[in-house]
Amino acid sequence: MTDDVKNPDDPERRDFLNTVTGVVAGVGVCAAAWPFISSMNPSRDVLSQSSTEVNLKDLKPGEGKTVAWQGKPVFILHRTDQQIENMSSSQGVKDPEADAERVLKPDWLVVIGICTHLGCVPNRVKDGWFCPCHGSAYDNSGRILHGPAPRNLDLPPYEFLTDSTLLIGRSST
Amino acid sequence: MNILVKISLLLTAFLVLSPASASTAAMPLAKLDIANDKESIQRGFEVYYNNCRFCHQLKYIKYQYLPDIGFDKAKVDALRGSQLINASLQSTMSEAAANEVFGAIPPDLSLMAKARKQGPRYIYTLLTAYYEKSDGGYDNKLMPGIKMPDPFGYSVANENSKVAIEAEAKDVVAFLNWAADPHADERKSLGIYVITYLIILSFLLYVIMKRVWRRLPPPVSEQL
Amino acid sequence: MKKITQWIDRRFPMTAFVKKELSEYPTPRNLSAWWNFGSLSGVVLVIQIITGIFLAMHYKPDAMQAFASVEHIMRDVNYGWLIRFMHSTGASAFFALIFIHMARTLYYGSYRAPRELMWWSGQVLLLMLMATAFMGYLLPWGQMSYWGAQVITSLFGAAPFIGEEIVIWLRGDFTVGDATLNRFFALHYLFPFLIVGLVMIHLVALHMVRSSNPSGINLADKDNIPFHPYFTVKDLFGLSVFLLIYAFFVFYSPNLFIEPDNYIPANPLQTPAHIVPEWYFLPFYAILRAVPDLVGGVIAMGVSVMIFAAMPYLDRSKIPGGARYRPIYRVLFYLFVVNVLVLGYVGAKPPEGWLVPLGQVATVIYFSIFVFLPYISKKEEIWLRAKGLPSVVEELICAEEEEKGKRSQRKNRGKE
Ligand code: FES
């Protein structure tokens, strides 16, 4: 109602101010959404379990075990010299890959124990694993031999902390 | 607006007055500046670890939080030994044993700084309220008949060691204050951004509002 | 864009609705800041629902795990502390806004015809809000949560004959326990959505009768301005200022609204030395304690909340504008507000010494104001009209009386 201000209705000025406010408000709403989105990501205690330490001391050559890493089964196999030799001389069938590229140390095979077909956990059989769901067979390097699975068994990130301790996943702290 | 001011004054007076007069402690709480720096908190952790931990657990503090107060990985790994990184800090005494010795289970300390009115001051006062009784025993002025034995020997300490004990108590309070609310620093620094943002937004909206209302058509009827 | 709008408009009255109820909705031009609190409450309801849903993703309604899961939210979940403090502070903010909204309605007489249904739906909303807040308060499973729930559920034991059975039925156990926690969680999740539904009804009623305004005269019909942009921008500015205050509490004083005892896990074998309800229940709690008899106290407390619904009938004055043209009503209003604050103070303290009689006097004053209101308001009207009112107000009263007369005549004719 006061007319003492010059051009209170100057459309250019109004548009500019409204745009700025709109952008500021929009940015605020997006920023406010972030904590909520972020809260659905794995929480801190879950993240701390993103790595698993495994003691390898009592695994004799030829023995293996399955450990949980991020809730997934990981097959660890202490391979014998014979097994290493067999594996390094073959390239696999469906998804050719050299054995040397699938292990850090030839003695130890570490693979994620989830069938690359539809996610069952294969069973240990003589000279490899066999998936009970649809009959995929894997060798002692975790490579697919036959069956419907498209890929070799996936490899988790891992490192040897000492000769007898294995860390699967990233470093914990 | 006049009424708005009046009522808000009344409300603030009400909010301010009511918690102030609610203290029922046996002795007034000591004045205390709660330290918030990493060094004090770390020293406080050592005090906890070498004294309190024998009876009190920190159920909601996990080893994985310790890097937050400035400990490096090697230190944390040394502290936890064979325990998992996401294990919480347990006391060395079992609940049953503690119950047998003290007749009560020593309370968990993770939330202690928030679970008492003026928590940090309460803890500090409690730790330094031990005194020697005439018959040679000890008691606590803040909590007469306390079951916790004088943890730092404050009741029998001479003036010099009392100063040292008070410094230790301050450190452990700094640590427990952090433990009760580990995100407090993050909260306060985030708050500055949020409040600055809202001040700017309010200002912009105020300007727009003033301008929109200037365009208001004149009233049709006489206003009351 | 236009095509999409047209496509929708042929099937759903979207543009027409937005135009009629939002942008061109006629609103009195003289609404003060006190008329901001309705929309603010709506926003807080949304904040509570959103934060609540995200909290529920991490919370465990189990007596063994509830307390620890709240700590898990506070310590491990990304920004869990923020969401939790927003929710706990939001509950207090919600009541603060609703109480101011109610005080405004009482001061300006907005509850009077034709807005009775708005007032009554608001009354039901208040009850539902109280129930929701009460059930939510149990969820952290701290000492205060537990004993608050224990005490309040025990109140139902005052019911004649089947009191004991009702209490057990409410709890699903002989004391507050796991079953109670689980059902409180379920209902605490459900109620906000019922509240949303009732808010819709509240708003439909509002758009029927339009906003009241500080003059008390129905300006909305005669002299109004479109809602947009005048009130959209005013509400947005109000919202921004509110968020500023809210953020201050969330970031710098979040524990102000959480009793220290609630950071101690619930212990069914030990009651805290002094139990207090949340601040928004304190005046009613003081009334409960002021009556020395359990049944009487429960009735008094129930009536003290519900009596607001009678206001359209208790206030018999025909003078519009609430307290604005009515000095005596204004005095009563302020007396009431101060009295409620006194009751709140008494409710926060242990019932000892001079606080007991003070609480009783305040309780008597609380009810007396309602009881004597019909008489006082009538007398006040006669006095004010004899003294002479502004001509606009006098005309309005006459016009209204005439209108009423005609209506009753028509009714009588219909009967014959
Ligand atoms: S899931 Fe293993 S073969 Fe189909």
How large is the average pLDDT for residues C83-92? 97
Q: Do C127 and C248 belong together in one domain? A: yes
Q: Please report whether residue C264 resides in a domain.
A: no
Q: Name the helix (H) or strand (E) containing C170.
A: helix C163-171
Q: Do C56 and C190 belong together in one domain? A: yes
Q: Are C176 and C138 in contact (CB under 8 A)?
A: yes
The predicted-structure confidence for C331-344, as pLDDT tens digits, reads as follows 999 999 999 999 99
Residue A149 CB less than 6 A away from ligand 1: yes
Nearest CA to ligand 1 atom 3: A134
Is a pLDDT exceeding 50 seen at residue C114?
Answer: yes
Residue contact C345–B18, C-beta within 8 A = yes
Catalytic residue annotation of C: 207, 211, 234-235, 278
Q: Do C218 and C319 belong together in one domain? A: no
pLDDT in the model for residue C320 = 80
The predicted-structure confidence for C348-361, as pLDDT tens digits, reads as follows 998 888 999 999 99
The alpha carbon of A148 and the centre of ligand 1 are apart by a number of angstroms equal to 7
* C378 to chain A, closest Cα gap in Å: 40
Q: Which of B73, B86, B208 sits opposite A18 (nearest CB)?
A: B208
Q: How much is the ipTM here?
A: 0.90
Residue C213's pLDDT band (cuts 50, 70, 90):
confident
The alpha carbon of A130 and the centre of ligand 1 are apart by a number of angstroms equal to 9
The predicted-structure confidence for B55-79, as pLDDT tens digits, reads as follows 899 999 999 899 999 998 888 888 8
Is a pLDDT exceeding 80 seen at residue C393?
Answer: no
Residue contact B17–C345, C-beta within 8 A = yes
Residue A155 CB less than 6 A away from ligand 1: no
Give the distance, in angstroms, between the CA of residue B157 and the centroid of all CA atoms in the same chain: 27
Is a pLDDT exceeding 90 seen at residue B109?
Answer: yes
Residue A14's pLDDT band (cuts 50, 70, 90):
low
Cα of first residue to Cα of last residue in chain B, in angstroms, is: 17
Q: Give Cβ neighbours of residue C173 (< 8 Å, ≥ 6 apart).
A: C179, C180
Cα of first residue to Cα of last residue in chain A, in angstroms, is: 64
DSSP letter string, chain A: ----SS-TT-HHHHHHHHHHHHHHHHHHHHHHHHHHHHHTS--HHHHHTTSEEEE-TT--TT-EEEEEETTEEEEEEE--HHHHHHHHT---SSS---GGGG-SSTTEEEEE-S-TTTS--PEEETTEEE-TTT--EE-TTS-EEESS--SPPP---EEESSSSEEEESS---
How large is the average pLDDT for residues C122-151? 95
Q: Are C137 and C153 in contact (CB under 8 A)?
A: no
Q: Where are the alpha helices (DSSP H) in C349-390?
A: 355-387
**Among A112, A136, A154, which is best to mutate for testing ligand 1, by the most ligand atoms less than 8 A from CB?**
A136
Please report, rounded to a whole number, the percentage of residues in chain C having pLDDT higher than 90: 70
Residue A133 CB less than 6 A away from ligand 1: yes
Identify the chains in contact with A, defined as 3+ C-beta pairs within 8 A.
B, C
Q: pTM for the full model?
A: 0.87
* A48 to chain B, closest Cα gap in Å: 6
Q: Which of B13-27, B80-94, C170-184 has the lowest mean pLDDT?
A: B13-27
Q: Do C40 and C182 belong together in one domain? A: yes
pLDDT in the model for residue A54 = 87
Q: What is the interface size between B and C, counted as CB pairs within 8 Å?
A: 116
Residue A121 CB less than 6 A away from ligand 1: no
How large is the average pLDDT for residues C412-416? 68
pLDDT in the model for residue A173 = 39
How large is the average pLDDT for residues C218-243? 86
* Whether A44 contacts chain C with CB within 8 A: yes
Residue A146 CB less than 6 A away from ligand 1: no
Q: Do C396 and C288 belong together in one domain? A: yes
Structural domain boundaries, residue C217? 31-253
Is a pLDDT exceeding 80 seen at residue C56?
Answer: yes
**Distance separating alpha carbons of residues C227 and B223, to the nearest angstrom:** 19
For C:367-396, CB contacts with B below 8 A are: 390, 392-393
More confident residue, A64 or B221: A64
**Distance separating alpha carbons of residues C253 and C250, to the nearest angstrom:** 6
Q: Do C286 and C235 belong together in one domain? A: no
For B:198-217, CB contacts with C below 8 A are: 198-199, 201-202, 205-206, 208-209, 212-213, 216-217
Q: Name the helix (H) or strand (E) containing C128.
A: helix C116-138
Q: Do C79 and C194 belong together in one domain? A: yes
CA-wise closest residue to C112 among C332, C321, C304, C307: C321
Q: Give Cβ neighbours of residue C44 (< 8 Å, ≥ 6 apart).
A: C90, C93, C94, C97
pLDDT in the model for residue B17 = 47
pLDDT in the model for residue A1 = 41
Is a pLDDT exceeding 50 seen at residue B20?
Answer: no
Residue A11's pLDDT band (cuts 50, 70, 90):
low
Q: Which of A14, A28, A45 sits opposite B86 (nearest CB)?
A: A45
Distances (CA, A) of A147 to A52, A110, A136, B59: 31, 22, 4, 50
The predicted-structure confidence for C8-43, as pLDDT tens digits, reads as follows 999 999 999 988 888 888 888 888 999 999 999 999
3-state secondary structure of C27: strand
**Distance separating alpha carbons of residues B146 and B159, to the nearest angstrom:** 23
Q: Do C246 and C295 belong together in one domain? A: no
Residue of A nearest to B197 (CA): A28
**Distance separating alpha carbons of residues A152 and A139, to the nearest angstrom:** 9
> Which ligand 1 atom minimizes the distance to the CA of A119?
1
pLDDT in the model for residue A171 = 52
Q: Could you give the number of structural domains in chain C? A: 2
* Whether C72 contacts chain A with CB within 8 A: yes
More confident residue, A129 or B99: A129
Average pLDDT across chain A, whole number: 86
**Distance separating alpha carbons of residues B134 and B143, to the nearest angstrom:** 18
* B183 to chain A, closest Cα gap in Å: 13
DSSP letter string, C202-270: HHHHHHHH----TT-S-HHHHSEEEHHHHHHHHHHHHHHHHHHHHHHHHHH-GGGGS-GGGGSB--TT-
Q: Do C64 and C194 belong together in one domain? A: yes
Q: Please report whether residue C277 resides in a domain.
A: no
Distances (CA, A) of A5 to B206, B213, B215: 16, 13, 12
